[in-house]
Amino acid sequence: MTLGIYDWGSGGLRLCDQLRTACPDLDLIYVGDHGFEDYCELSREALIERVRLLLDRVKAMGVNRVVLANDAASTVVSVVAPPEVVVTGLVEPTLRSMPGRSLMEVGVIGGKRTVLSGSYGRALRKLRFLVVQRVSLDLGMRLETGAFSRRELEDSLTSLLEPLAKADGLLLADSLYATVSASIRKIVPRAVLIDPFDYVLRELTDEFGGLDCGTGRFTAFTTGDPREVSERADRLFGLRLEFSRLTASELAVT
C-alpha cells in the first residue's frame, strides 16, 4: 500500500514527516507542484484542471489512495478524483473535529481561493459558529520562498490578524501558517489554533496504523527545481530530502 501526498508547495512535507513517525511502515509518495502558479491565485476551473492532471500522474505511479495536503486543492476534492483512486483533503477532517468545541467565534485565515470557496466558512456557520474570514494575498507564498524579514513577517501577521482579536479559535487554512504559530499566538493569544494537519493525521493513523503497509519507503517528486525544493524542506522543517523532477512531458503521459 502506497499513500500519495499531493501539495502545491512544501507544507505537505510536514504531514509526510508526521506520518513517517506515526506509521513508519507506510510507503509514501510526495508530489509537490512547486513549478506551477500558486493554487490560491487560480480560478476554480483552472484549479480543477491542474489537480486532475497531477492526480492522473500520481495514479500512473500505481497509487490509489491520495491526500490533498493543500487547502485550495482540498476545496475541489469532490470533483477531481480519477477512477479507482480514493482522494481526500484537509477540509472534511477538520470540520469533523469541530462539533462540540467550546468556541464561539472562529477566525479563518488563508489564501484567496481557499477563503472565497467558502468550504470552511459555510460549514462552520452551519455548525453555529460565528465566523470571520481573512484573505492573505501573499503570506503562504512568502513563507514558501523565505521572502520575509522578521519585521515584515510581524507586520504582515498583525495586519491580517488584528480584526480577529476577539476570536477564540483560529483555523490555519494554509499548511505553512503553522510554521509561524508562535508569532500568531502573540497577536491573538486567546485563540485556540486549529491546524488541519492534526485531524488529517489522526484519521490517517486510524486508517493505516497497525497495518502491514510496506517498508516505510519515501519518494519525493516536484514540478519545480529539485535543489531549490530540497533547500526549502531543510529551511522550513529541518528535513534533508532528495527530490526527482516531474517535467511537463511526463505530466502529459498517464
C-alpha cell at 31: 508530489
The predicted structure's pLDDT at residue 128: 96
Residue 211's pLDDT band (cuts 50, 70, 90): confident
pLDDT(254) > 60: no
Residue that terminates a domain, selected from 149, 177, 195: 195
Query: What global pTM score does this model have?
Result: 0.95
Burial 217-242 (b: 16+ CB within 10 A, else e): ebbbbbbbebeebbebbeebbebebe
Round to whole Å and give the CA distance between 116 and 108.
11
Residues 6+ apart with CB under 8 A from 77: 68, 87, 88, 89, 91, 92
**Dist. CA 33–CA 73, nearest whole Å:** 11
CATH number for the domain that contains residue 162: 3.40.50.1860
Q: Are residues 138 and 174 in the same domain?
A: yes
Q: Please check whether residues 99 and 168 belong to one and the same domain.
A: yes
pLDDT for the residue 253: 57
* Residue 190, C-beta contacts closer than 8 angstroms, at least 6 positions apart: 167, 168
7 bridge partner residues: 32
**Contact call for residues 239 and 13 (beta carbons, < 8 A):** yes
pLDDT tens readout for residues 158-195: 999 999 999 999 999 999 999 999 999 999 999 999 99
Cell numbers standing for residue 114: 481557499
Q: Is the pLDDT of residue 109 over 70?
A: yes
For residue 42, give its domain range: 2-89+198-251
Q: Give the 3-state DSSP-derived string for 160-179, with helices as H, strands as E and coil as C.
A: HHHHHCCCCEEEEECCCHHH
- Does residue 29 sit in the same domain as residue 123? no
CA distance 99 to 209: 25
Same structural domain, 105 and 181: yes
- Same-domain check for residues 55 and 140: no
Q: What residue type is assigned to position 147 of the chain? A: A
Q: In the prediction, which pLDDT does 251 show?
A: 80
Mean pLDDT of the chain, nearest integer? 94
Whether 55 and 112 share a structural domain:
no
Within this chain, do residues 103 and 181 fall inside the same structural domain, yes or no? yes
